[in-house]
Amino acid sequence: MLNILYLKFTFKYLRSHKKKQMTSSIEKLLNDQVKFEASASMQYLSMASWADVNGYNGVAEFFYAQSEEERLHMTKLVKFINERSGTVIVPALDKPKADFKSLNELFETFLKSEVFVTEKINHVIYECLQHKDYNVHNFMQWYVTEQLEEEAVARTLLDKLNIIGNDKSGHYLFDRDINTIATEANAPE
């Protein structure tokens, strides 16, 4: 019994005295990024729900999947911060936008969100270089690649919608083919 108590105490002591493996400014930026990815996940869930009730089943499935992806991006950051002996702050989130005038507005919101996340990731990368934290820099490269792909998909989908304009049969085909369009936008040249 005493041995167990001793082990528990030692484990607790070691956990509370682990040396942080990154500067506090980088740790803060990574935690901010947790919030941005979580917010994107909730925003896309809200967009999926809007599409669902407005009869765009393909668009709904697309955003349900995007929402899951952003959640994975968030969790990957949480695990990384913990691995580096940082302190994760699970954030409170603002209510996502829930009402959209059109499919165009829905996809404008998507592109805006992705551009915002890319800017934030670039900022983390910049700070990593300032602090010579090549470990975090290396970890963040995965996000850089992801963002390139997601922005390309968002731009392509919005371009298609701009071509379609107000044509209802065009919207029908867009909803039916959204995953094919997204996959093609993502394919290497």
Q: Which positions touch ligand FEO (CB under 6 A)?
A: 37, 40, 70, 73, 114, 117, 147, 150
The 3-state DSSP class for residue 75 equals helix
Least distance from ligand FEO to the Cβ atom of residue 80, Å: 14
Q: How far apart are CA 116 and CA 113, in angstroms?
A: 5
Residue 93 or 163: the one with the smaller Cβ distance to ligand FEO is 93
Q: How far apart are CA 133 and CA 30, in angstroms?
A: 13
Backbone Cα Rg of the chain? 20
Residue 154 or 171: the one with the smaller Cβ distance to ligand FEO is 154
Tally the C-alpha atoms within 13 A of residue 61's C-alpha that lie toward its C-beta: 10
Least distance from ligand FEO to the Cβ atom of residue 113, Å: 7
Least distance from ligand FEO to the Cβ atom of residue 10, Å: 38
Contacts of residue 188, Cβ cutoff 8 Å, sequence gap at least 6: none
| Residue nearest ligand FEO, CB atom distance | 73
| Of residues 184, 180, 162, the one with CA closest to residue 171 | 162
Residue 27 or 70: the one with the smaller Cβ distance to ligand FEO is 70
Least distance from ligand FEO to the Cβ atom of residue 141, Å: 14
Residue 40 or 181: the one with the smaller Cβ distance to ligand FEO is 40
